[in-house]
Structure 1
Amino acid sequence: MKPVGIIRFSPTEGPGYLSKFLNEAGIRWQLIRIDAGEPLPTDCSAYAGIAMMGGPMSVNDPLPWIPPLLALIRDAVRKDIPLLGHCLGGQMMAKAMGGTITNNKCMEKGWHAVEVLPQPEARQWFGGIERFTTFQWHYQTFSIPPGAMQILRNDYCENQAFTHGPHIGFQCHIEMTVEMVREWCKGEDPVMARPVETPSVQSNMEIQQDLETRIASLNRLAASVYTRWIEGLKK
């Protein structure tokens, strides 16, 4: 099988649990480090699937690598090469597919529950789960692109995930590890570090309470989603 391409936008926002899952599943993967100046592929056909991680920048920023990435995503959609987006990655998918990226009504940071919508498409990805707690770290959000189906929501951010055939884009972070959470709490970007008094924003102390237990639960949820995603990988 061809490798899975994993696109990283920030050195602290790597593949996390996704890499562990792929290794255990015996699936090769290749890290494309945008943050280190590595070039994007111009053709997605070399990959069985493409995953995108998070990052502190906005999809709307005038960065030179964003238009080529949006073109790569659209190419993957045309060729049915499965896409998987986490936070910024999900926003990139939404933008490329015809959605818009705007500031969310509030910043969302920490451990928050999301609702699985009663849609057949949601059951394909989450089975009988109706609600779960996941990790959040964002101030912007995506609209659901044309032809896609919203499958997750919560009161702080209406659009938490969408699916379109073999593709799935998340606003939340299901890929987290203990090490990643601790690293993020130590070195926040200026926007997310602003003091905000709202239930949607947890303190770094709150975020790290019972961290191992929370991560273990999130990893189980992520493993279920990733198992569904790799079913569509190209040979």
Structure 2
Amino acid sequence: MLRSALKTKKVDSRPILIVLHQENSTPGRAGQMLEARGYRLDIRRPFLGQKLPDTMRNHSGAVIFGGPMSANDPDDYVKREIDWISVPLSENRPFLGICLGAQMLVKNLGGKVESHTEGMTEIGWYPLESTEEGRKIMDWPSMVYHFHREGFDLPSGAKLLARGHTYENQAFRFGENAWAVQFHGELTRAMMHRWVVHGAHRFELPNAQTGDRHLDGRFLHDAALRQWMSNMIDTVFGHRMVDLG
């Protein structure tokens, strides 16, 4: 039977590799939380031609964030980024994929990323249900924030941690150190306002929520999501160790 044990760990002096997909994107409060724990951030944007490292020996771990592109896009930088995930996987280094980053991990592991069979999206706040496996690791919020039109199947060997109604697979763990989530716990208030303004054209898509529901939902649900993000950072990067014995 799995059991969780909390330990503290001295912060690694090496930076966390942060992979972003737009020129003005930031790691949001995920980056803030990492810096608050003493980590430096090495921010890279592959779509601008910035290369990713050949090894993780100079980094404590990696986070790949979301973006407007698809993991199925034919662009060379998208394919290279998906292939690059083999570096932290092969070296068993901490890796967290958020939204697009999660879908890229799925593609690297041989899984499928595709749109809903009925064209449904998740853009706004939607219910989340943790699995028994997920509950053994941490507490999960009941509502989470989404902004996507594609989902993913569960790769072979992965353990499902949380599920949703429209897109079932919402979070999983692969091996010891690779984690993926479909939703966004990293958004600051300013980021959400920017997404609501620039993404308003998507509110007409099936199952998408209007902008006022995005902002109202933040007042209702963000405290629990923020706490989850903090716990996830600690779990992935070693401050909250999971004992599998």
Same fold (TM over 0.5): yes
Secondary structure (helix, strand or coil) at the match of 1:70 reads helix
Query: Does the aligned pair in 2 maintain the 1:110–1:202 contact within 8 Å?
Result: yes
Aligned to 1:218: 225
Aligned to 1:110: 124
Q: Distance in 1 between matches of 2:89 and 2:78?
A: 17
TM-score (norm 1): 0.88
Gapped runs of 5+ residues in structure 1? none
Aligned to 1:205: 212
Q: Compared with structure 1, are the counterparts of its residues 111 and 11 closer, same or farther at alpha carbon in structure 2 (3 Å cutoff)?
A: farther
Q: Compared with structure 1, are the counterparts of its residues 46 and 157 closer, same or farther at alpha carbon in structure 2 (3 Å cutoff)?
A: same
Aligned to 2:112: 100
- Offset at 1:215? 2.9
Aligned to 2:35: 23
Query: Does the aligned pair in 2 maintain the 1:4–1:51 contact within 8 Å?
Result: yes
State the identity as a percent.
25
Query: Does the aligned pair in 1 maintain the 2:19–2:45 contact within 8 Å?
Result: yes
* Structure with the largest fraction of strand: 1
Q: Distance in 2 between matches of 1:117 and 1:210?
A: 23
Secondary structure (helix, strand or coil) at the match of 2:110 reads coil
Q: Distance in 2 between matches of 1:184 and 1:230?
A: 28
Matched, 1:141 2:151: yes
Equivalent position amino acid for 2:231 in 1: S
Query: Does the aligned pair in 2 maintain the 1:44–1:72 contact within 8 Å?
Result: no
Aligned to 1:123: 135
Query: Which of these residues, 201, 216, 230, is aligned with residue 237 of structure 2?
Result: 230
Q: Distance in 2 between matches of 1:116 and 1:231?
A: 21
Query: Which of these residues, 179, 192, 198, is aligned with residue 168 of structure 1?
Result: 179
TM-score (norm 2): 0.85
Equivalent position amino acid for 2:33 in 1: F
Aligned length in residues: 225
Q: Distance in 1 between matches of 2:83 and 2:51?
A: 14
Equivalent position amino acid for 1:223 in 2: S
- Offset at 1:124? 4.3
The runs of at least 4 aligned residues of structure 1 exceeding 4 Å deviation read none
Matched, 1:188 2:199: yes
RMSD: 2.0
- Offset at 1:11? 3.5
Q: Distance in 2 between matches of 1:214 and 1:86?
A: 19
Query: Does the aligned pair in 1 maintain the 2:56–2:87 contact within 8 Å?
Result: yes
Secondary structure (helix, strand or coil) at the match of 2:216 reads coil
Q: Distance in 1 between matches of 2:238 and 2:136?
A: 12
- Offset at 1:70? 2.1
Q: Compared with structure 1, are the counterparts of its residues 35 and 75 closer, same or farther at alpha carbon in structure 2 (3 Å cutoff)?
A: closer
Matched, 1:76 2:88: yes
Aligned to 2:59: 47
